[in-house]
Amino acid sequence: MFGYYIDLATRSLRRNKALTALMVLAIALGIGASMTTLTVLHVLSGDPLPGRSGTLYYPQIDPRDGQGYLPGKTEPMDQVTWIDGMNLLQAKRADRQALMTGGTVAIQPDNSTLDPFYEDARYTTADFFPMFGVPFRYGHAWNAADDEAHARVAVIDGPLNDKLFGGGDSTGRTLRLSGVAFRIVGVVGDWNPNPHFYDLNRKSYGEDEGVYVPLSTSQDVGMNHDGGMDCWGNGGGGNTPAHNAPCVWLQFWVQLDSPARAAAYRQFLVSYSEQQKALGRFQRPPNVRLRNVMQWLDYNQVVPDDVRLQTGLAFGFLLVCLVNMVGLMLAKFMRRAGELGVRRALGASKKALFAQLLVESGVVGLVGGVGGLLLALAGLWLVRRQPASYAALANIDPEMLFATFVLALGASLLAGLLPAWRACQVTPALQLKSN
C-alpha cells in the first residue's frame, strides 16, 4: 500500500512540475539555511571535553578592595592573582589542580631555512595534561617535580612538531624559546577543545597553543604574558605583571570527582576568603563561585550573538517557507477534490486518503531535505570562508546530518497535515455531482 501511495504521489507531483519544484525549492532553502546556522550553533555551544567537563570546575574568588562592591550583585573576578593562585594550588584541596596563563614565545628553529617566529604558548603546572585528558603522540607531560625544579622542559603540539621536526619523534630534542634552550618531553596528539574553555581571554575558538612550558620556568625566563588582565586600586599593568601586583591574570582549574567534593571545595573557597580577609589581604566578604565547564561557558556567553541571531533568522525563514508550502499544498489538494471524491466513492476510507496525501507531502519533504542538505553543505562552505575565528570549525557531523533529515521530513509532514485533513473533508457525493 505504501509503495502504491508513493507511486500516486510521484505521479501527482510530476503533473505539476513548476509547483512541485517551487515547493521543493522553498523547503530546501529553508532547511539549508536552518541547518547551516544550527550546525554552527551546535559546534560553538558544544561540550569542549565530553565526559570530563562535568568534573572540571573554575573557582572564582574576589580579592578586590571595598570600592564599588555591591553585596550579592558583584560577580567575583574572572581570573586569579599570582598569590591566590599559588595559595590555592599549594592547598591541594582538589583531586587535581592546575594554575596557568597564556603568552607568546619566540621560537628560533635550528633549521636555518626557517625564520624565527612567534607562537602562542601556555604556561601551566603539570596537572593540566592529565586533568584535561590531553593525549600524547610522543613522550609524556612533565610532572610536579619538574614544576618545583623550574625545569626547562616543553611540550609542543602536532602542527608545530610537523613544522619544526617534520612530524618525527622530537622528544629529547632542544627547542630555543625566547632565547633559552628547552628540552622537548612530549608531543601532543590530536587535541583541540572548542570552545577554548580554559582561557577565554585570548580567543574563544580556533587553534590551541603550540607550546606548553611549566609556569614556574616561564616566570624565570621572563616569557611575556598575553591575554586578559584586570587590575584594581593603583595596580598598573605592564606586559608581565609583578607577582604581588593587585592584578588578576591567571586561570585556576580544579578537578572534583563528586558533587560532595565540589561542595566541600566551595566551602574551602569561602574559608580561604575569610582567612585572607582576616589577614587584611581581602577587604570584601567572601564572594566565591564554583562553576563547571558548561556553566563557565554559559556565564561567559561564548557563543557569539551574531550566530544566535543568524539561527533565529534562519528558522524565521524556514517558517515562511513552511507556511508557503502549506498554502500551495492546500491549493493543490483542494483542486484534486474531484479525484479524491472518486476514490472515496470507490471505497477508500478517510484515513487512507489522509495517509496518501501525507505520503505526498513526505516525498516533497524528503526531496527538499536532500536539496537542503546540499544547500547546507554549500552554506557551511561559505561560513568557513568567513572572517570569524570559529569559521574553520563549521563542519557537518553525522548527528547533524541525521537531524537535517528529521527536520526536513518532520517539517513537511507537519506542513502536509492541515491540507491533507482539509482535503479529506470533501463529501464524495457533492464532488461527483459537480463534475
Partner 1 sequence: MELRPILSTLRRHKITAWLLVLEIALTCAIVCNAVFMIGQRLERMDLPSGIAEHELVQIGLGHIGNSPDAIAQSQTDLAALRQIPGVQQVAVINQLPFSNGGSSNSGIRLSPEQQQDTLEASTYYGEGVLPTLGLHLLEGRDFRHDEYADFGTVIADLRNGDLKNLPSTIIVTRALAERLWPGKDALGQTLYVGKGLPFRVIGVVADLARPNNLNWGVGYSTVWPIRMTVADGSSYVIRTAPQDRDAVLKAAVAALKQLDPNRVVLVKRTYDEARHAFFANDRAMAGILVGVIVALLTVTVLGIVGLASFWVGQRRRTIGVRRALGATRGDILRYFQTENFLLASFGIVLGMALAYGINLFLMMHYELPRLPGIYFPVGALVLWAIGQLAVLGPALRAAAVPPVVATRAV
**Which residues are at the interface with partner 1 (CB under 8 A)?**
19, 22, 25-26, 29, 33, 65, 67-68, 104, 106, 108, 115-118, 178-180, 222, 224, 226-228, 233-239, 242, 244-245, 305-306, 309-310, 313-314, 316-317, 319-321, 323-324, 326-328, 330-332, 334-335, 386-388, 418, 422, 435
Nearer CB in complex with partner 1: 249/253: 249
d(CA 109, CA 111): 5
Alpha carbon distances (Å) from 294 to 176, 257, 261, 304: 37, 16, 18, 16
* C-beta closer to partner 1: residue 264 or 313: 313
Closest CB 49 distance from partner 1, rounded Å: 27
CB of 267: closest distance to partner 1 in angstroms? 30
Closest CB to partner 1 among residues 192, 324? 324
Least distance from C-beta 103 to partner 1, angstroms? Answer: 11
* CA–CA gap between residue 70 and residue 66 (Å, rounded): 9
Shortest approach of partner 1 to residue 317 CB, angstroms? 6
Of the two residues 91 and 334, which places its CB atom closer to partner 1 in the complex?
334
Task: Give the residue with the Cβ less far from partner 1, 76 or 186.
Answer: 76
Least separation in angstroms between CB 428 and partner 1: 18
In terms of CB distance, is 186 or 371 closer to partner 1? Answer: 371
CB of 233 to partner 1, least distance (A): 5
Q: Which three cell numbers stand for residue 176?
A: 630555543
Cβ distance to partner 1 smaller for residue 139 or 227: 227
Rounded to a whole number of angstroms, the minimum distance from the CB of residue 209 to partner 1 is: 16
Residues linked to residue 128 through DSSP beta bridges, in sequence order: none
Smallest distance from partner 1 to CB 319, Å: 6
Cis peptide before 195 (omega within 30 of 0): yes
Environment class of 102 (CB within 10 Å of its CB; exposed 0-12, middle 13-18, buried 19+):
buried
Contact yes or no for 311/209 (Cβ under 8 A): no
Q: Which is nearer to partner 1, 167 or 206 (CB)?
A: 206
CB 211 within 8 A of CB 188: no
